[in-house]
């Protein structure tokens, strides 16, 4: 498997089993234990033949083909740590990574995949998430993964083949979806968006579910039809590399001067600022957040209807709503 020696494979098996126990103890897949078997079966180390970790002189590269046994052992143990792994750097900037496994487990459970579903993954990364989906569905042809960078899709395809999976790996702009493989029952993005692409809705069957990082949260949308989707955020935080190719202006920094200290330290308040993106000033946002009982992410949602999209608190037709691009 992957051309590694038997000692490396034995260590990988043990480390993978420990990772599964760790995620299991966290309760990530209590609602859908079928994912436990997928994580136990799919070897993450095949998808990260090298990765980078912060070191005293910048990033240190860990490599599975190192001639030093101790270095290979560090690589294997790191591959099965419950942390995100930097897999591709450009001019010192992270452009691709393998997400934290426990977060991946939480997202896959929240996607609510059912037997026979056709799934589009936006952000191929290493290919590991696509392999988990293919294993769960029992059919590679039901899974499509797309990424803008040819070198990322080429390496993802190699990793998938090494693990025995051959889903459709497409090079293209994920914001445009992959219409030739539609319709989809589920869409999952592993990169942060600044808007919900209308192309995704058009490529989904009615009742489809979309799960995507958005404004440092995870947004779960139900597609009503080709022009209408609506849903809420999951409770926890989520931070991802932005989707390349969507075309967005980087927001300027927001000053919190003059606000109470907890405005600077309470992450749910900063989520509100990220979600409203200037539609509320910091003082106005803080007054609302305090008045409404310091709401967490689960009370917010997003509606997409035709050319319009808006974020809201508690009720899509309620008094607290903010336009999105």
Per-residue model confidence as pLDDT tens digits over 80-129:
999 999 998 877 777 778 999 999 999 999 999 999 999 999 999 999 99
C-alpha–C-alpha distance, residues 229 and 83, integer Å: 32
Q: With cut-offs at 50, 70 and 90, classify the pLDDT of residue 1.
A: very low
Question: Which burial class, exposed, middle or buried, applies to 44 when counting CB atoms under 10 A from its CB (0-12, 13-18, 19+)?
Answer: buried
- The predicted model gives 50-71 an average pLDDT of 89
- The predicted model gives 284-308 an average pLDDT of 96
Contact 106, 30 (CB under 8 A): no
* Closest C-alpha to 100, from 86, 89, 120, 119: 86
Catalytic residue among 66, 96, 97, 102: 96
CB atoms within 10 A of CB 67: 7
* pLDDT for residue 18 is more than 90: yes
pLDDT score recorded for residue 244: 65
C-alpha–C-alpha distance, residues 35 and 27, integer Å: 12
- The predicted model gives 41-51 an average pLDDT of 96
What is the end-to-end Cα distance of the chain in Å, rounded?
Answer: 46
96 is catalytic: yes
* pLDDT for residue 251 is more than 50: no
* pLDDT for residue 241 is more than 60: yes
C-alpha–C-alpha distance, residues 211 and 209, integer Å: 7
* pLDDT for residue 43 is more than 50: yes
* pLDDT for residue 179 is more than 50: yes
- The predicted model gives 158-186 an average pLDDT of 97
CATH numbers and ranges of domains, the chain: 6-237 (3.40.50.150), 261-323 (no CATH)
pLDDT score recorded for residue 271: 94
Its pTM surpasses 0.85: yes
pLDDT score recorded for residue 246: 54
Contact 147, 123 (CB under 8 A): yes
C-alpha–C-alpha distance, residues 191 and 95, integer Å: 10
Chain centroid offset of residue 149 CA: 17
The percent of residues in the chain predicted with pLDDT above 70, rounded, is: 95
* pLDDT for residue 194 is more than 80: yes
């Amino acid at each position: 498997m992957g051309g590694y020696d038997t000692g490396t494979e034995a260590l990988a098996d043990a480390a993978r089993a420990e990772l599964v126990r760790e995620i299991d103890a966290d309760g990530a897949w209590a609602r859908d234990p079928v994912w436990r078997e997928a994580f136990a079966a799919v070897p993450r180390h095949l998808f990260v033949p090298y990765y980078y970790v912060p070191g005293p002189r910048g990033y240190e590269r860990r490599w599975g083909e190192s001639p030093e046994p101790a270095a290979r052992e560090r690589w294997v143990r790191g591959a099965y740590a419950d942390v995100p792994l930097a897999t591709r750097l450009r001019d010192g900037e992270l452009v691709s990574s393998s997400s934290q496994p426990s977060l991946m487990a939480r997202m896959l459970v929240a996607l609510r995949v059912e037997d026979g579903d056709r799934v589009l993954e936006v952000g191929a990364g290493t290919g590991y998430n696509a392999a988990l989906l293919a294993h769960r569905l029992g059919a590679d042809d039901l899974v499509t993964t797309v990424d803008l960078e040819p070198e990322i899709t080429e390496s993802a395809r190699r990793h998938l083949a090494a693990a025995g999976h051959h889903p459709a790996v497409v090079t293209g702009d994920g914001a445009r979806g992959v219409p030739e493989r539609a319709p989809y029952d589920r869409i999952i993005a592993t990169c942060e968006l600044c808007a919900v692409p209308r192309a995704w809705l058009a490529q989904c069957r009615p009742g489809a579910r979309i799960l995507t990082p958005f404004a440092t949260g995870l947004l779960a949308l139900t597609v009503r039809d080709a022009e209408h989707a609506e849903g809420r955020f999951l409770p926890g935080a989520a931070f991802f590399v932005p989707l390349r190719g969507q075309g967005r202006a980087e927001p300027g920094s927001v000053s919190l001067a003059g606000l109470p200290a907890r405005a600077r330290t309470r992450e749910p308040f900063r989520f509100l600022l990220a979600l409203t993106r200037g539609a509320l000033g910091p003082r106005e946002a803080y007054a609302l957040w305090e008045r409404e009982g310091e709401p967490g992410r689960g009370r917010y949602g997003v509606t997409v209807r035709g050319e319009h999209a808006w974020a809201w608190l508690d009720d899509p037709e309620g008094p607290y709503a903010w336009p999105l691009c």
